[in-house]
Amino acid sequence: MFSIAMKMLFHDRAKFVGLVLGVAFSTLLINQQLGIFIGLISRAGAVVVDVPEADIWVMDPGVKNLDTIFPLRDTELGRVRGVPGVAWAVPLFKSNVTIRTGNGELEASLLIGVDDTTLIGLPPQILMGNIDDLRRPDAVAVSEEGFRKVWRGQPISLGNVAELNDRRAVVVAIVKDSPKFTSSITFFTRYSQALQYTNNGRNQMSFIVAKAAGDQTPEAVSANITARTGLKAMSSPAFRWKAIEYVIQNTGIPISIGTVVALGILVGIAVVGLMFNLFVLENLKQFAVLKAIGTSNLRLIGMVFLQAAVVGFVGFSVGLFGATMFFETAGKSPTFQGFFLPWYVAAGSGAVAAAIIVLAALFAMRRVLFVDPAIVFRG
């Protein structure tokens, strides 16, 4: 009977394509929008991700995210290093600076100052250059995307000179960093060098990044730091999530994207539900014939659910393929770095597609279940 169900489904190609497109559109919209949403909010915690060596972040008690910073006193570094359970702790500087691009335009840029001695705070992936050259005067590393923006059209190379707040900066390395929420240009330099670029006087330490000793959890050490220094200390994942949470709670992004996702689901339910209902309605006489010649209700329900499942599977596959292609193609654009399709979004959209299909099938199944087989005798 199931092969007959398939032939019935594929017979009206226009309707089959319409049903598949309904599911595919819904799947595409859900995946594309949620992929963008997750990519976007992940940027809020990008600076944390780029310091994988550290598992504890220490900051002023009033800090709520990575962009609103109150500098710490230089002496706090020593205090944190003295807390039991801290394996090491280094300063991290973070500030926005203005940079003059190759063609004379001004661009906002992020400047990260990393520990002079250990260079902890640099992204792990060095694309070009020797990171030890960062110890030279005026040396900076720049993100790949930042290089392309500052020196548009030029091949990626070392030795280019930029002006950071009117001070000379020589590119000695190109690094791959995580896309940021506010700026796509990031310069990395030594902590002491960073202070010169900003020239704001003492107490410029944005964060202290630290590592818990081998036998201690970052959470326990963070609690210790807070208790002994009065500073806020959080594990890296907790701080990253706090930064993301801040974006979720203080911007219109979740509502905006959530509305589009909800519309995608609603349109999916409406289009697929109505079209599948119409499909069953048009085939009702065929179902009645099958019923009259001895097909049980259970088998007819099985046929309807199989038809719905095939529509759902094909539609979901097409939609997921479309979303994957979107992220693959758009991901090649420099301004679209960091957007991706997480597996859990794909799995979630699969569950939504399944729910849409089950709803549509349940709705249509009633007609098949209650169709009077005696209508076969009516002309």
Q: Which residues bind another protein (CB under 8 A)?
A: 1, 3-4, 7-8, 10-12, 285-286, 289-297, 372-374, 376-379
β-pairing, 125-129 with 207-212?
unpaired
CA distance 342 to 256: 20
Comparing CB distances to another protein, the nearer of 322 and 373 is: 373
CA distance 228 to 238: 20
CA distance 148 to 166: 20
Minimum Å gap between C-beta 287 and another protein is 10
Minimum Å gap between C-beta 10 and another protein is 7
Comparing CB distances to another protein, the nearer of 15 and 242 is: 15
Comparing CB distances to another protein, the nearer of 204 and 295 is: 295
SS3 196: helix
> Which two tokens mark 50?
């780029």
Length of the chain: 379
Comparing CB distances to another protein, the nearer of 207 and 287 is: 287
Minimum Å gap between C-beta 309 and another protein is 18
11 Cβ partners below 8 Å, 6+ apart? none
Quick one: how far is CA 147 from the chain centroid?
23
Q: Which amino acid is at 127?
A: L
CA distance 379 to 148: 74
Comparing CB distances to another protein, the nearer of 185 and 300 is: 300
Minimum Å gap between C-beta 313 and another protein is 20
Minimum Å gap between C-beta 9 and another protein is 8
Q: Could you tell me the CA-to-CA distances from 320 to 26, 29, 265, 279 in Å, in that order?
A: 10, 9, 14, 24
**Burial of 53: CB neighbours in 10 Å, binned 0-12, 13-18, 19+:** middle
Minimum Å gap between C-beta 307 and another protein is 11
Comparing CB distances to another protein, the nearer of 43 and 291 is: 291
Comparing CB distances to another protein, the nearer of 20 and 89 is: 20
> Which two tokens mark 25?
């559109």
Minimum Å gap between C-beta 298 and another protein is 8
Phi, psi of 46 (to 5 degrees): -60, -40
Comparing CB distances to another protein, the nearer of 131 and 306 is: 306
Q: 232 near 243, Cβ under 8 Å? A: no
Minimum Å gap between C-beta 291 and another protein is 8
CA distance 236 to 220: 13
Minimum Å gap between C-beta 290 and another protein is 7
Comparing CB distances to another protein, the nearer of 259 and 297 is: 297
β-pairing, 106-114 with 186-190?
parallel
